[in-house]
Chain A
Amino acid sequence: MLEQQLFNALSLGSVYALFALGFTLVFGVLGVVNLSHGAVFMVGAYAALQAVLKLNLPLAGALAVAFAASGLLGLLIDVLVLRPLRARNAPHLIPMIATIGLAIALNSLAQGIFGAENLRFPAEVLPQQTLNIAGLHVTMLELGIIALSFGLMAVLLLVLRGTQLGRALRAIAESPKAAALLGINVGGLFMLTSFVAAGLGGVAGVLIGLYANALFPLMGQPILHKGIAVIILGGMGDIRGAMIGGLFLGFAEVLTVAYISSDFRDAVAFGLLFLILLVKPSGMFGKVLERKA
């Protein structure tokens, strides 16, 4: 019984991890808590749906569209909203408040345009087969979600750890001023990070839309809240923390639904959040060091 939930938990957890990854990337590199990440997630899902319905694209194409659409949105947010605030040296809370405004505006626009009802991906687009792995019943969809999420995370890790670009990003995360002095194109990398992080968020949106078989304008909000819990759990700005935290949450939620009650599913994230805030506010992998200017 428990094993049956394994792939379920893995797929949910991996998407949480993917979402949290984008979120923590922006926090680590740009130093901003981007509360519009949930809206961007939602935009990706809707973009993919439109791609399937209007452009007749297969799922792979729709995912690419989602990545691009969300990524572009993330980029615009950086250029139009975050950059002017950076130029003004606004205290931390201000960009966060601005992203709250963005989230509200985007969510409402989506509701105005697409309506509040749940929408679905047409069944033909979804992979239908089920497999039998080690005696467990696994759907192709779950496998696909897991593969894509882990794949993207692996690529991201590779870039961050093993390339010049990754080193530059980590330098910026330590201290943007110092990085600029080293000749790193900080502004350009801010834009790139915003694009990629949002793109990943958009892909996560499609995956959750597929997993839950539902899209609705406010779908990004619960995920955003859980993403917050995840990155605090894992340590804000820490990539490993986001991934492990996301997986952890996925498992915790699935187990809670299976063994306690589905009513409390959404509360699990916050229960964990509270626990970690009381015990170790910097999170599992968080450092107590403050980011220098």
Chain B
Amino acid sequence: MTMMEWWDGFWATYNTVIFSVGVNAMLALSIYVTLSCGLLSLANAAFMGIGAYVASLITMQAGLPFPVALAAGGILPALVALVIGIPTLRLSGVYLAMATLGFGEVVRVVVLNMEITGGPMGLNGVPPITEWWHIVLLLGVTIYFLARVRRSKIGRAFEAIKEDEVAARLMGVNVAGYKLLAFVIGAAIAGVAGALNAHYTFTIGPNNYGFENAVDILTMAVFGGTSNLIGPMIGSTILSLLPEVLRHFKDFRLAANGLILILVVLYLPKGIWDPRRIRAFMQRRNAAQTASKKVN
């Protein structure tokens, strides 16, 4: 077998997995944005779904080019987020999580019952037009955008809100406005990820965007770590590849997901990629090395 043949074979089997790594990275980043502002939103799977359906309908029924579908896949969830965000973001952490969970369910039930979305069967035959460079480009844009936001007054405002809303407010930060911004940005990113994902999986249905999926996204971010942008990407990469590794565990694979969440929350509260813990570890190791050098 030649190199080319091997590559073709490899690609044919694993291209979906590789695409998922990119898409999941975007999804993990979408929930990272909201978490960086102190919001736990379980609605990102629903936003992903909205983006997926809108983009698919555009390519399948309106016959418009892919960039248009992708743009709509980002804009529409953002608008929805704006509308539901205004009342629900008034709620504090736990209530907000509940409300976003509820919202996700509403979307699922609505989609389940609409003709245009194909009801419980979903949409079949979504054109497979996603290419690797689409994902790389959009992921890159997302990372750049979030990195710049993080380094600006917006990023600082998010962090201040996450730490102490009252203090942030009294320092002049428009807390409600910034929460809404984080929510909307997260929705847009999730929507575009959904649009990309729909166009390499042929079929989409209401069950792809439910509670379990929202939790998957959350797990990736929490597992990877939410101190900076790197954590969610590491978490999403590992957890995208893990199912392939755990393939023959089937049903118990999901149990592994749940177990990972629990273990991470209990023992690695800041996730795998925790700069502080890593730095502290490095310092201890260096100190130990210099100490042992002295002894020798």
Contacts and interface: CB of A to CB of B under 8 A. Distances in A.
Contact of A98 (B95, B113, B212, B266): B266
Contact of B252 (A88, A93, A112, A263): A112
Q: Give the dominant DSSP class at A's interface.
A: helix
Contacts of A111: 251, 254
B18 interface: no
Interface stretch (A63-71, A138-146, A199-207, A221-229): A221-229
A96 B94 contact: yes
A169 interface: no
Contact of B97 (A33, A106, A221): A33
A122 B94 CA distance: 40
B121 interface: no
A2 interface: no
B177 interface: no
A210 to B, nearest CB: 25
Contacts of B110: 267
A202 to B, nearest CB: 19
B158 interface: no
A232 interface: yes
Interface string A107-136: 111011000000000000000000000000
Interface residues of A, number: 43
Given A97-B218, A228-B101, A273-B102, A112 B94 contact: no
A105 B259 contact: yes
Interface in B251-265: 251-255, 257-262, 265
B255 A109 contact: yes
A263 B254 contact: no
10 contacts: A33-B97, A96-B40, A104-B255, A105-B255, A108-B257, A232-B99, A232-B102, A274-B99, A277-B87, A277-B91
Given A267-B109, A270-B105, 9 more contacts: A90-B269, A94-B269, A101-B219, A102-B258, A104-B212, A108-B251, A225-B211, A228-B101, A236-B95
Interface of B: 40, 87-88, 90-91, 93-95, 97-99, 101-103, 105-106, 109-110, 112-113, 211-212, 215, 218-219, 222, 250-255, 257-262, 265-266, 269
Interface of A: 33, 81, 84-85, 88, 90-94, 96-98, 100-109, 111-112, 221, 225, 228-229, 232, 236, 263-264, 266-267, 269-271, 273-274, 277-278, 281
